[in-house]
Amino acid sequence: MTAHPPRPVAFGWSEADERAFAALDDPRLVPGRVVLHVRQSYTVAGAAGEFRAHVAGRLRHAAGAAEDLPAVGDWVAIVAPERSGSAIIATVLPRRSAFVRKQAGERAVAQVLAANVDVAFLVSGMDGDLNPRRIERSLVIAWQSGASPVVVLNKVDLLDDARGIVDEIRAVTGDAPVLPVSAHDGRGMDDLRARLPAGATGVLIGSSGVGKSSIINRLAGTEVHPVGEVRPTDDRGRHTTGHRELIMLPGGGMLIDTPGIRELQLWGSGEGIAGTFDDILELGARCRFTDCRHESEPGCAVLAALEDGTLDPGRFENYRKMLRELAFMERRRGGRAAHEEKLRWKKIIAGYRRGPHRRKF
């Protein structure tokens, strides 16, 4: 009887991971999770231990794109070193979710910020960083990822009364909850911690200076990362985290920290738009014409909502801007991708016209 390698249950190993790993049917391999990625070097942890690792040449050659290579949070199968030395990452197991953005630059290349994430914490500071349009953009990427987004408003301790600001942000987040917290005095941190039970994985996404490192230190109960000072001129901070890393928390949950993100370019399809701008799509389903562009057509429910003030013009313009951005990105990725995206988007719109009880994306 073949001995089974130990399973990394403490890192969130699931039945789906078990099936995917068993299908490899290779006794040389052991499972592990990528907990650190710095340039070309990885750290993989599991029941068999923690190893420095590098990607096998065969895997690197077979990867169709950079997004197919390991990312922090990925489950991988490795050949562990017999003594000292580096483990070899032989393959990446299927992801159940992936937080992906377009990599900075002109090329249409995807960058996986975190994989196999259950909760995406979209962090903003309740100071000069707060921007509803940026939160909408983050929500589009989070809904697309397959993780459940939670909007975290840090630095509530800086305000005498935060209710007005919290209500303003809740008006644009739809089904995503909004948590006002303070990493400084601990306010709201129990609510955040409760969303990371044992075995669950979260990721912190936000620009530098919003307090991600302080939130991690508060949740971990120790200084995992140094906290950088924020410039008083623009409320921005220096990058105190220069890499992506999965951190184990005392309660058994896990949190992936990412460097401060200056720019979130979209990558993906219409599901993220639908999850974020559900109210606009609901309005569009009431328009007289099925192909209404919401510009000057008679019987346009969206234009009517703009005129009577029930729809924020800034929110609608952000919606249109991101639709244009996605369409441009799909054209750059190639005709087949654009065609598939067009069909997928038609399916989403048709779901809204059938009614919410019949939608299937």
Q: Are the CB atoms for 326 and 252 separated by under 8 Å?
A: no
Sign of CA dihedral 286, 292, 298, 300: positive
Instruction: Mention every residue, 6+ apart, whose C-beta is less than 8 A from residue 117.
Output: 73, 97, 98, 99, 145, 146, 147, 201, 202, 203, 256
Give which of 127, 141, 145 is closest to 73, Cα–Cα: 145
Instruction: Tell me the per-residue pLDDT of 91-145, one tens digit each, with 9 for 90 and over.
Output: 999 999 999 887 765 566 778 889 999 999 999 999 876 899 999 999 999 999 9
110-257 belongs to which CATH class? alpha beta
Instruction: Tell me the per-residue pLDDT of 305-359, one tens digit each, with 9 for 90 and over.
Output: 999 999 999 999 999 998 888 887 777 666 555 555 566 556 655 665 666 543 4
User: Coil, strand or helix: which one is 49?
Assistant: strand
CATH of domain 9-92: 2.40.50.140
Tokens of 117: 């994430």
Q: Are the CB atoms for 59 and 90 separated by under 8 Å?
A: yes
Give which of 72, 351, 339, 38 is closest to 204, Cα–Cα: 72
- Other CB atoms closer than 10 Å to residue 259's CB: what's the count? 15
Cα atoms found within 13 Å of the Cα of residue 97, Cβ hemisphere only = 21
What value does the mean pLDDT take over residues 195-204? 95
Of all helices (H) and strands (E), which one includes residue 286? none
Residue with structure tokens 């009364």? 161
Residue with structure tokens 């800034």? 314
Question: Worst-scoring range by mean pLDDT, 70-74, 250-254, 271-275?
Answer: 271-275
Residue ranges per structural domain of the chain: 9-92, 110-257, 270-358
Of all helices (H) and strands (E), which one includes residue 154? strand 148-154
Tokens of 68: 């197919």
Tallying the residues shown for the chain, one arrives at 361
Tokens of 131: 């921007």
Tokens of 194: 């409760």
**End-to-end CA, the chain:** 44
- Other CB atoms closer than 10 Å to residue 261's CB: what's the count? 16
CATH tag for 270-358 (out of 1.10.40.50, 3.30.420.10, 3.40.50.10800, 3.30.360.10) = 1.10.40.50
- How far from 127 is each of 106, 233, 261, CA to CA, in Å? 32, 12, 17
**Res. 231 pLDDT band, cuts 50 70 90:** very low
Q: What is the pLDDT of residue 357?
A: 42
Instruction: Mention every residue, 6+ apart, whose C-beta is less than 8 A from residue 178.
Output: 150, 151, 153, 166, 169, 170
Tokens of 317: 């313009």
Q: What is the pLDDT of residue 78?
A: 95
Q: What is the pLDDT of residue 340?
A: 57
- How far from 213 is each of 74, 117, 161, 163, CA to CA, in Å? 22, 19, 24, 25
Number of alpha helices (DSSP H) and beta strands (DSSP E) in the chain: 11, 13
